[in-house]
Amino acid sequence: MTITVVLGLLSAVANAAASLLSKQLTRRLPARQLIGPLLALNALLVAPAAPFVAWTWTPPVVALHVASAALLVVTSLAVWDLFDHGEASAVVAAMSISPLPTTVAVAAVLPGVLRAPQVIAAVVVVGAVLYALSGAFAALSRRRTLATVLVVATGTGLITVLGRLLADRGAGVVEAYLVRTGLAAAASLLLVPPRDVPVRELPSLAVRAALVTTHFLLILVAVQEGSPAVVQTAVATAPLLVLAAETARSRRAPPRRLLLAAVAASAGVAVVLL
């Protein structure tokens, strides 16, 4: 269980760094047009390992690959809409409430995996980040904000669960990640062509892609070692890392609600470690 949490926390660090860079990209480029190129770069980073791993092409695995890719496209559209209207910390916070839908999904498809402390930890982390989210997307209507956040949270959580289901059916980390991102990249490039993304942005996109690939690969490895709900609960500390970075950059004291959220999220992860 400890290695699962460690991998989840490392994934949170990578996610926090990628999110800070993502916000910088949206300040100068169309948010949705970034999705296809970034997903393609994510796939290319893992592609060299493809010939050296075993592949599983049973009908259930193929169906799970397609479902994972579809969820990734929908979730990415929602995530980048949030990046376009809010700060990086708020977007990552929206992503991090995924432990709740993950917990529900895990209970439904993986009986016996969850324990009561894990459920409590998920609820604590979700409550903490929801508190920090208050009023974070003022440019969006309250209804649209709620809908977008729910899409992001549910999609993020279910992608993690599907990763575990793929692992249980023999699909390795490279296969699961490469097929998911490759299919999602192709679909995104067709849906939102990157007409206004210049080639000179490639170095920044490559750095962001490397951070996101590290984030997702750590999650895939972690869910092969333990419960997806535990993994997502550890990953849910990412918004606190981003908020800390934003506070250090602005040189302003963090709001009281941030301190409360940090304590609550840390308590949730501590329960997982028990």
- Give the mean pLDDT per block of 10 residues along the chain (274 residues): 83 91 93 96 93 92 96 95 85 75 66 69 72 69 80 85 89 92 97 94 93 88 79 79 82 70 66 56
Q: Write down the pLDDT at residue 107.
A: 65
Tell me, what DSSP letter sits at residue 253?
P
Q: Write down the pLDDT at residue 147.
A: 83
Q: Write down the pLDDT at residue 219.
A: 85
Q: How far lies 71's CA from each of 123, 157, 216, 227, 254, in Å?
A: 23, 10, 14, 20, 34
Q: Write down the pLDDT at residue 270.
A: 62
End-to-end CA distance of the chain: 9
Q: Write down the pLDDT at residue 108.
A: 66
Euclidean distance between CA atoms 52 and 88, whole angstroms: 36
Q: Write down the pLDDT at residue 232.
A: 73
Q: Write down the pLDDT at residue 112.
A: 67
Q: Write down the pLDDT at residue 80.
A: 94
